[in-house]
Chain A
Amino acid sequence: KQEVTQIPAALSVPEGENLVLNCSFTDSAIYNLQWFRQDPGKGLTSLLLIQSSQREQTSGRLNASLDKSSGRSTLYIAASQPGDSATYLCAVRLLKAAGNKLTFGGGTRVLVKP
């Protein structure tokens, strides 16, 4: 059974500092990995999607890396801003997942202080 872990559960940084968010998974036979952002009381917004054949994906200040062999992905957010305060979730889709379902980590709650 795939298990996805995100550590730490919460993180507080001063504005301008780079954010490093970690995601680990137990089964390396993945199809892809997706990072999401969730604001309080809202749905999930897709940030980056990394296919199993890729090592990283970039979008603006966001960069996500994937190391399947070690079962890890890292989301980097450069020059953090107060607007980056949210919960960040990673989710993994296994190669043979029934219904192509996603398995989610518990999330990392980020606070960027002005």
Chain B
Amino acid sequence: DGGITQSPKYLFRKEGQNVTLSCEQNLNHDAMYWYRQDPGQGLRLIYYSQIVNDFQKGDIAEGYSVSREKKESFPLTVTSAQKNPTAFYLCASNDRGAGLEAFFGQGTRLTVV
């Protein structure tokens, strides 16, 4: 089955620690995105990548970093510079064809302990 796999489902981070969230897709999509979801707020774009080895900041990139070394993979690192990292993180992808329909993974819930 084609889809987007995010891991882990739950992640706990200590103060001052960097953590990396995984996102893998087998849909052969060029573009991939990371969104953050907080209670009572809509999804906000963190980073996006439209092609391998290239990525751009979204609306709330501070405290986050990404890489895109392979078409299938777009990991997100939450650094210690992110002051309020507790949130639900969603990875998405879309192809240039098929009307740019977006597909999402099942999310990772990150909690600071």
A interface with B by C-beta (< 8 Å): 4, 31-32, 34, 36, 41-46, 49, 51, 89, 91, 93, 98-102, 104-107
B contact residues around A44 at 8 Å (CB): 90, 92, 104
B contact residues around A45 at 8 Å (CB): 104
Q: A43-B90, A99-B31 are in contact. Are A31 and B100 (CB under 8 A)?
A: yes
The 8 Å CB contact of A32, one of B4, B58, B100, is B100
| Segment of B35-43, B61-69, B73-81 in the binding face | B35-43
Q: Is B56 part of the binding interface, using a Cβ–Cβ cutoff of 8 Å?
A: yes
The 8 Å CB contact of B99, one of A4, A43, A49, A98, is A49
A contact residues around B48 at 8 Å (CB): 99, 101
| A49 and B42 form a contact (CB under 8 A) | no
In Å, the complex CA distance between A43 and B105 comes to 6
The 8 Å CB contact of A43, one of B45, B58, B101, B107, is B107
Q: Is B50 part of the binding interface, using a Cβ–Cβ cutoff of 8 Å?
A: yes
- A-B contacts besides A34-B102, A43-B105, A102-B45, 20 pairs, CB < 8 Å: A4-B42, A31-B100, A32-B99, A34-B101, A41-B88, A43-B6, A43-B90, A43-B106, A44-B90, A44-B92, A46-B101, A46-B103, A51-B99, A91-B43, A93-B100, A99-B50, A100-B31, A100-B50, A100-B100, A104-B43
Nearest neighbor of A54 in chain B, beta-carbon distance? B99
A contact residues around B42 at 8 Å (CB): 4, 89, 104-107
- Min CB distance B25 to A, Å, is 12
B contact residues around A43 at 8 Å (CB): 4, 6, 90, 104-107
- Min CB distance A87 to B, Å, is 10
A contact residues around B58 at 8 Å (CB): 99, 101
Q: List 9 A-B contacts (CB under 8 A).
A: A4-B42, A43-B6, A43-B90, A43-B105, A99-B58, A102-B33, A102-B43, A102-B92, A106-B42
